[in-house]
């Protein structure tokens, strides 16, 4: 599931580092999506992955999970090649809206996150007979409490709001005590208050439980107060580092091959402004022009 042409000695990766990519590349069909990528995510840190649509953000997530192969470079996920430590990863896929008529409760979904890969069939009353079941059940309820979803966890998943669904899905991702959370656009479609509360929840979990978080998002601003690092995905390349390093006019212009200006507002927010489809670059970049990334 992964290729790691690289140093045969570095078999287990650096301790304390959840995710490391060296010279990584991914190919879809005959097209190389991005290449020469160096990225490091340390334990307990919060990294956002940003960039326009179609450049390969979801692909990065899927490759880390081992669902797609890396075509070049060395990749270590929790010290192993991608796909081997998936039971220690909590995953929230993109745009997962459940059918409003789907008759299954939020708590069942969370429970499936914990034991859905075990053979067998759920029977009613199992909890009455097995102490192990009772312990597992208590854990599930604890996680639901942690994300603040206890009030609606027993409702069918299709009947709770977008923000509430995301909380439950985060609980599902957390229920196996993961070391790494992979969240693919979890704020997509949520109203602003929900976006803020969900991001704050994720950050709290990240800090208090020392779980690494890799989150794909569209807008960096709501996340800035919580981020330890960012990765910007452009055509053919990914630039990763601290926000101060990466979110500069220089770096982003080079990445996107167009004139991008980063402006710091009076209240500490960042405005990332780009001119769409302009060939003439401020810095003579060799990259091809791309559509501008959004920013408020």
Partner 1 sequence: MTNLLQTLTQMLAYPFMVNALEAGTIVAIVSGLIGWFMVLRRQSFAGHALAVVGFPGAAGATLLGVGAAYGYFTFCLAAALVIALLPRAGGSGRTDESAVTGTVQALALACGFLFVSLYHGFLNGIDALLFGSFVGISQGQVTALLVVGACVLVTLALIGRPLLFSSVDPEVAAAGNVPVRALSFVFLLLLGAAVAEASQITGTLLVFALLVAPAAIAQTVTSRPSVGLLLSPIIALIVTWGGLTLAYFWPYPIGFFVTSLAFGGYVAARVAAGLVRRRSKSAW
Partner 2 sequence: MRSHGASGMFAVALAVTLLLTGCVGAPTARSTGGGISSGAIQVVAAEDFWGSIAAQLGGSRVNVTSIITNPNTDPHEYEPTVQDAREIATARFVLYNGVGYDPWVQRLLAASPVSSRAVLDVGGLVGVSAGGNPHRWYSPADVHTVIAQITANYARMDPADSAYFHGLRKRYETVSLAEYDRLIAEITSRYGGTPVGASESIASPLAQALGLDLITPPAFLAAISEGVDPTAADKATVDDQIRSRSIKVFIYNDQNATPDVAAIVYEARSAGIPVVAVSETMVPASSTFQDWQVRQLRVLEQALKRATGR
Name the strand (E) or helix (H) holding 264: strand 260-264
- Using the rule CB under 8 A, is 266 a contact of partner 2? no
Provide, rounded to whole angstroms, the least separation between the CB of residue 106 and partner 1: 10
Q: How far is it, in rounded angstroms, from Cα 28 to Cα 179? A: 28
Provide, rounded to whole angstroms, the least separation between the CB of residue 44 and partner 2: 28
- Using the rule CB under 8 A, is 59 a contact of partner 1? no
Phi/psi region, residue 257 (left: phi>0; alpha: psi -120 to 50; beta: rest), is left
Which residue carries 């745009």 as its tokens?
A: 95
Size of interface with partner 1, in residues (CB under 8 A): 35
Using an 8 Å Cβ cutoff, are 232 and 221 in contact? no
Selection from partner 2, partner 1, none that 54 binds (CB < 5 to 8 A by kind) is none
Nearest CB to partner 1, comparing residues 31 and 118: 118
- Report CA-CA distances (Å) from 58 to 7, 51, 135, 235: 27, 11, 35, 14
Q: Which two tokens stand for residue 30?
A: 């005959």
Nearest CB to partner 2, comparing residues 114 and 184: 114
Cβ-based neighbours of 201, under 8 Å, separated by 6 or more? 147, 148, 167, 170
Q: What is the CA radius of gyration of the chain?
A: 20
Nearest CB to partner 1, comparing residues 212 and 281: 212
- Using the rule CB under 8 A, is 117 a contact of partner 2? yes
- Using the rule CB under 8 A, is 119 a contact of partner 2? yes
- Report CA-CA distances (Å) from 49 to 45, 79, 110, 216: 13, 21, 25, 5
Nearest CB to partner 1, comparing residues 169 and 252: 169
List the x/- string, 67-106, binding to partner 1 by CB under 8 A: x------------------xx-x-xxx--x-xx--xxxx-
Q: Which three-class secondary structure state does DSSP give residue 166?
A: helix
Provide, rounded to whole angstroms, the least separation between the CB of residue 132 and partner 2: 8
Selection from partner 2, partner 1, none that 261 binds (CB < 5 to 8 A by kind) is none
Q: Which two tokens stand for residue 4?
A: 């790691």
Identify any residues that bridge with 263 across adjacent strands, giving them in sequence order. 271
Interacting residue with partner 2 among 9, 123, 128, 266 (CB under 8 A) = 123
Residues that bind partner 1 in the complex, under the rule CB under 8 A: 65, 67, 86-87, 89, 91-93, 96, 98-99, 102-105, 108-109, 112-113, 115-126, 156-157, 172-173
Which residues of the chain form contacts with partner 2 (CB under 8 A)?
Answer: 117-121, 123
């Amino acid at each position: 599931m992964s290729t790691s042409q690289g140093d045969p000695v570095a078999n287990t990766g650096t301790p304390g580092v959840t995710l490391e990519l060296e010279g990584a590349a991914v190919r879809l069909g005959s097209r190389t999506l991005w290449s020469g990528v160096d990225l490091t995510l340390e334990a307990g840190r919060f990294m956002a992955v940003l960039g326009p649509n179609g450049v390969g953000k979801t692909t990065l997530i899927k490759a880390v999970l081992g669902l797609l192969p890396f075509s070049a470079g060395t990749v270590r996920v929790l010290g192993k090649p991608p796909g081997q430590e998936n039971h220690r990863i909590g995953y929230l896929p993109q745009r997962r809206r459940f059918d409003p008529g789907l008759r299954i409760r939020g708590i069942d979904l969370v429970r499936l996150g914990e034991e859905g890969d075990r053979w067998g069939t759920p029977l009613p009353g199992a909890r009455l007979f097995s102490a192990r079941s009772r312990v597992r059940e208590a854990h599930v309820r604890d996680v639901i409490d942690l994300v603040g979803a206890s009030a609606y966890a027993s409702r069918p998943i299709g009947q709770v709001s977008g923000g509430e669904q995301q909380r439950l899905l985060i609980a599902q991702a957390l229920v196996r005590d993961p070391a790494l959370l992979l969240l693919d656009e979890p704020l997509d479609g949520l109203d602003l208050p929900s976006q803020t509360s969900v991001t704050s929840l994720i950050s709290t979990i990240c800090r208090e439980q020392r779980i690494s978080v890799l989150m794909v998002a569209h807008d960096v601003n709501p996340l800035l107060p919580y981020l330890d690092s960012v990765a910007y995905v452009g055509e053919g390349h990914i630039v990763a580092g601290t926000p101060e390093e990466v979110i500069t006019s220089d770096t982003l212009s080079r990445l996107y091959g167009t004139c991008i200006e980063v402006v710091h507002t009076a209240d500490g927010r960042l405005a990332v402004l780009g001119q769409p489809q302009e060939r003439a670059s401020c810095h003579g970049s060799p990259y091809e022009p791309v559509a501008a990334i959004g920013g408020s």
